[in-house]
Amino acid sequence: MTIFQAEEYDFQKARRRKIIVTAVIIAILVLGGIAWMFRNYPEERVVDKFMTALQNKDFNTAYGLWVADKDWRQHPQQHSQYPFADFYRDWGPSGDWGVVQSYHIDGSTVPSDSYNSGNGVVVAVTINGRKEQAGIWVTKKDHTMSFSPFDVVR
d(CA 129, CA 147): 19
Is residue 90, in this structure, part of any structural domain at all?
yes
Highest mean pLDDT among 15-29, 91-105, 121-135 belongs to: 15-29
Is residue 2, in this structure, part of any structural domain at all?
no
Question: Angle between the 59-66 and 41-55 helix axes, to the nearest 10 degrees?
Answer: 160
Mean pLDDT on 90-112:
91
- Considering the chain, what is the average pLDDT of its residues? 90
Is residue 4, in this structure, part of any structural domain at all?
no
Is residue 99, in this structure, part of any structural domain at all?
yes
Output the CA–CA distances (angstroms, integers) from residue 55 to 10, 50, 105, 112, in the order listed.
65, 9, 13, 31
Q: 86 or 110, which is more confident?
A: 86
Shared domain for 35 and 46, answered yes or no, is no
SS3 assignment, position 4 = coil
Strand order across the beta sheet in which 120-127 lies: 103-109, 120-127, 133-139, 145-147
Domain span at 27: 10-39
Output the pLDDT for position 115: 59
Shared domain for 84 and 113, answered yes or no, is yes
Output the pLDDT for position 151: 77
For 40-65, the pLDDT digits (tens) are 999 999 999 999 999 999 999 999 99
Shared domain for 49 and 120, answered yes or no, is yes
